Amino acid sequence: MLNSLSGRFLILTTVFVMLAEVLIFFPSVARFREDFLLSRLERAQIASLALLADDMIGADLEEELLLNAEVYNVVLRRDAVRQLVLSSPMPRPIDATYDLRDPTAMVLIKDAVAQVLKTEAEVIRVIGAPVREAGLLIEITMPTDGLRAAMLDYGLRILVLSAVISIFTASLLFFAVRYLLVRPIRGVVDHMQRYAAAPEDARQIIEPTSGVTELREAEDALQSMQIELTQALKQKERLAQLGGAVARVSHDLRNILTSAQLFTDRIEMSEDPVVQRMAPKLVNSITRAVNLCETTLAFGKADEPAPRLTRFALSEIVSDVMASERLAVGEHDLSFSEDIPAGLSVRADPEQLYRVMSNLVRNARQAIVTTGKSGEISVRAFEDDTNWLVSVHDTGPGLPKMALEHLFKPFQGGARKGGTGLGLAIAAELVRGHGGTLELGRSDETGTSFEICLPKGEVVF
């Protein structure tokens, strides 16, 4: 209970109200003491007026007047003459004098605290202004027993009242906080627990209802997070199902392609010049397809395998990619250009780099073909002291807005209608495996370019 938000709020409220009451307590006691002393001055003045009215008052009556006023002596100053009006024997000398004609708040508080702390009885002189200007000054001497007892009684009543007010106020705030804050927060927590138990169930997504601004913002943020998480879980489930299907297809396709490799061995023995020219490319394509199927099967068990780094001429990979894409163009007016410096070799995995280049060039080719217009695809490469840099540029229509917002995300960043966006996602992952980066250089109505940066330094896998 005390560890809960409402319990701690109850304790803090009680403490703070008590602190506020303590700050009020001392001025209140000081004011009570001042009123007490002023009342004694007023009673003493009334007693003195009785004597002034009749000079023949006896000793017994004078003693009764002083007893009713609870003072020992009364001195009046009238017309610059100081006159002892009423007097009686004092049990001890005067211990302190207090002037109430123009005291400051701090002086009154200080005197009141000192009065409460003194346990032994004293005789004090009190000076004040007479009521209704009946003279210039009035002085009395009086004991402090009754004053201290009255102050202690008043202070105790103030403390009890403060405690009651504190408990009452804290209780009201406790129930208010419990109703206005704790209950809505508890509702949000319950929603989170139910959602955690079944995140795929859209019925568990919270519906914001709170009227408190901060809680409403928290509910809105939670709802947004739950919607995104539910969508991500559904997508991951679909990806898992797709991965299983792709693994099965890749297994059977690998067997089919392996059989096709056996037939290509016999095709290579043909004496037809066209067959002899095309057969090596066919063999290379089938070999890459078999490797891709094996990699796909491995992907179902783990992440993309680490690249096997070797030195090779970049122009060979780019030429193979361009040759394959030229065959896929058909009669469309599309030109390909390569600007690879002679002798430029890179340290990378040739199969993975081929897949990267193939994805980028194929996407460029498909983008241009869908427009029905002529175009050009160019691949350029150069190196500096620390990196190999390759750019793939096309004169297509540029990437659509959706593709730009979800670039390199599978099943979200498709650059054409019906596309999955897997090509760019796979290419980016393969380049990252080399310690490099694949970035979008630019994309507008005049074309698109991608930049590949492969570091020359050693990469630890």
Start-to-end CA span in the chain (Å): 53
Indicate whether 325 belongs to any domain: yes
Q: Give the C-alpha distances (Å, rounded to integers) separating 112 from 95, 142, 181, 405.
A: 15, 16, 44, 75
The residues near 194 (Cβ < 8 Å, ≥ 6 apart) are 204
What pLDDT is recorded for position 176?
80
Q: Please identify, among 149, 170, 191, the residue that sits at the C-terminal boundary of a domain.
A: 170
What pLDDT is recorded for position 424?
83
Task: Check: CB of residue 173 under 8 Å from CB of residue 12.
Answer: no
Q: How far is Cα 179 from Cα 395, in angstroms, rounded to an integer?
A: 64
Q: How far is Cα 364 from Cα 352, in angstroms, rounded to an integer?
A: 19
The three-state (H, E, C) secondary structure of 163-178, written as one string? HHHHHHHHHHHHHHHH
Total structural domains within the chain: 3
Task: Check: CB of residue 17 under 8 Å from CB of residue 170.
Answer: yes
Neighbours of 354 (CB within 10 A): 22
Whether residues 22 and 136 share a domain: the answer is yes
Whether residues 336 and 421 share a domain: the answer is yes
| Short-list 378, 301, 10, 291, CA closest to 173 | 10
Which residue is it, tokens 């947004």? Answer: 224
Indicate whether 192 belongs to any domain: no
Whether residues 234 and 123 share a domain: the answer is no
Indicate whether 256 belongs to any domain: no
Whether residues 17 and 165 share a domain: the answer is yes
The three-state (H, E, C) secondary structure of 39-72, written as one string? HHHHHHHHHHHHHHHCCCCCHHHHHHHHHHHCCC
Task: Assign residue 413 the CATH number of its domain.
Answer: 3.30.565.10
Indicate whether 151 belongs to any domain: yes
Q: Please identify, among 124, 149, 170, the residue that sits at the C-terminal boundary of a domain.
A: 170
Q: Please identify, among 220, 243, 266, the residue that sits at the C-terminal boundary of a domain.
A: 243
**Which residues on adjacent β-strands are paired with residue 97?**
125
| Encoded tokens for 101 | 């004609």
Indicate whether 158 belongs to any domain: yes
What pLDDT is recorded for position 252?
60
Indicate whether 260 belongs to any domain: no
Whether residues 145 and 14 share a domain: the answer is yes
**Which residues on adjacent β-strands are paired with residue 390?**
381, 452
Whether residues 159 and 20 share a domain: the answer is yes
Whether residues 146 and 211 share a domain: the answer is no
Give me the phi and psi of 409, to 5 degrees please.
-105, 125
The residues near 340 (Cβ < 8 Å, ≥ 6 apart) are 314, 315, 318, 379, 380, 381
In the chain, what's the furthest Cα-to-Cα distance? 161
Indicate whether 92 belongs to any domain: yes
Amino acid occupying residue 173: L
Whether residues 315 and 451 share a domain: the answer is yes
Indicate whether 156 belongs to any domain: yes
Whether residues 236 and 125 share a domain: the answer is no
Whether residues 206 and 165 share a domain: the answer is no
- Which domain does 314 fall in, by range? 304-455
| Short-list 412, 388, 384, 242, CA closest to 318 | 388
Whether residues 324 and 222 share a domain: the answer is no
Q: What is the model's pTM?
A: 0.43
Whether residues 9 and 138 share a domain: the answer is yes
pLDDT by 10-residue block (mean), the chain, 461 residues: 66 77 84 90 79 61 77 79 76 89 89 87 88 74 89 89 81 79 81 82 79 82 85 75 64 61 64 71 71 60 71 92 83 89 92 91 88 91 93 91 76 50 79 91 91 78 39
